[in-house]
Structure 1
Amino acid sequence: MALRVLGVDPGLTRCGVGIVDIAANRRATLVAVEVIRTSPDDDLAARVRAIQLGVTALLDEHAPAAVALERVFAQHNVRTVMGTAQASGVVLAAAAERGLTVALHTPTEVKAAVTGHGGADKRQVTAMVQRILRLDAPPKPADAADALALAICHGWRGAPASASRADPSAAEEGLTPAQRAWRDAERASRAPRLER
């Protein structure tokens, strides 16, 4: 059974939301993606409410089992940080209301998961998201691609492992280079270290 993950790239003007199903063999499939937009000219409370309504509608329609949210980190622009934090708070509250756990992932962690390199640029992330999800065109704008990347990152970390343990060859089938790099890194991190 697939793990359904809702990924959120929080922002007050543009809040990317992507939902992906992750199979036991880590094959990812697009369920839905959108960018919730609000105008800087609108009242702050109305903007936060619009994000709340958009996120809750997607949660209720698609019933994900997990939520992945980009971790807010310090930036020089306090206004941008505040907007990101406000959008994040809405997502946290909506998930908690439904009993869903929210995983926080850093941008570097997400880039490493989908491209195999934590320093990848937005163009590389978007291209890999398109490839991983087998899309005809790259998801746009970047907020949409980032939300999908967050969902993929979390899904690969939390994907059910029972099928891959039962049939390792099935789990290897269809993996992208980034998925193989992520799998190998996970295996290496779990390998016992020898004392020197």
Structure 2
Amino acid sequence: MEKRILGLDPGLATLGFGVITCTQIANKVPETTVNMLDFGVIKTSADVEMGLRLCTLFDDLHTVMEEFQPDLVAIEKLFFYRMSSTILVAQARGVLILVLGQRRLPYVEFTPAQIKQALTGYGNADKLDVQEAVARELDLDEIPKPDDAADALAVALTASYQL
């Protein structure tokens, strides 16, 4: 059975996405293979009015959902860093949750520490360790760029470990 997981790294200026497939192979000992389908980012410009930026996220998220038809969406939970940037990310995240609700898509959320723990075995791992783990797990020759897309793939991989 194959499941398609869309990982999302929420952001207003840059929202990362990564799509993987998980295929369970029914052997004596069940195995799961994971493959990357695609990754990328949705960008909005700070020069554009907030409502239009949120509309861009809304429209582009629908396009991503339509193209990849995920079975499950995995989202990085909001991390409180600076209040001003946290509010902006929260607004983008609201649009993301709205799109998922409209499409009746199930989703799971993970904190940054949960993602780091799942991929590296250490909840305080640095960004490079996580990115290297993503490349290794997906058998990639190099770390996906930009960072937001690599983070989204990390979220998707974390969800795949829960299946």
Q: 1:52 and 1:19 mapped to 2: Cα distance?
A: 18
- Which residue number corresponds to residue 103 of structure 1? 108
Deviation at 1:74, TM superposition (A): 2.3
Query: 1:20 is aligned with what amino acid?
Result: I
- Which residue number corresponds to residue 16 of structure 1? 16
| CA displacement, residues 26-60 of structure 1 (integer Å, 9 cap, x when unaligned) | 32211111111111111101111111122111111
Percent identity between the two aligned chains: 36
Unpaired segments of 5 or more residues in structure 1? 159-196
TM-score using structure 1 length: 0.77
Would you say the 8 A contact 1:16–1:35 is kept in 2? yes
| Matched ranges for 1:29-108 at <5 A | 29-75=35-81, 77-108=82-113
Would you say the 8 A contact 2:79–2:112 is kept in 1? no
- Which residue number corresponds to residue 2 of structure 1? 2
Q: After the TM superposition, which parts of structure 1 deviate over 4 Å for at least 4 consecutive aligned residues?
A: none
Q: 1:101 and 1:58 mapped to 2: Cα distance?
A: 16
SS in 1 for 2:161: helix
Count the aligned residue pairs.
157
Structure (1/2) with the larger helix percentage: 1
Structure (1/2) with the larger strand percentage: 2
RMSD after superposition: 1.1
- Which residue number corresponds to residue 155 of structure 2? 150
Q: 2:18 and 2:88 mapped to 1: Cα distance?
A: 19
1:139 paired with 2:144, answer: yes
SS in 2 for 1:26: strand
Query: 1:18 is aligned with what amino acid?
Result: G
Q: 1:100 and 1:14 mapped to 2: Cα distance?
A: 22
- Which residue number corresponds to residue 27 of structure 2? none
Q: 2:117 and 2:32 mapped to 1: Cα distance?
A: 16
SS in 1 for 2:17: strand
Deviation at 1:73, TM superposition (A): 2.9
SS in 2 for 1:73: coil
Based on CA coordinates, which of the two structures has the bigger radius of gyration? 1
SS in 1 for 2:7: strand
| CA displacement, residues 153-177 of structure 1 (integer Å, 9 cap, x when unaligned) | 011102xxxxxxxxxxxxxxxxxxx
Would you say the 8 A contact 2:58–2:95 is kept in 1? yes
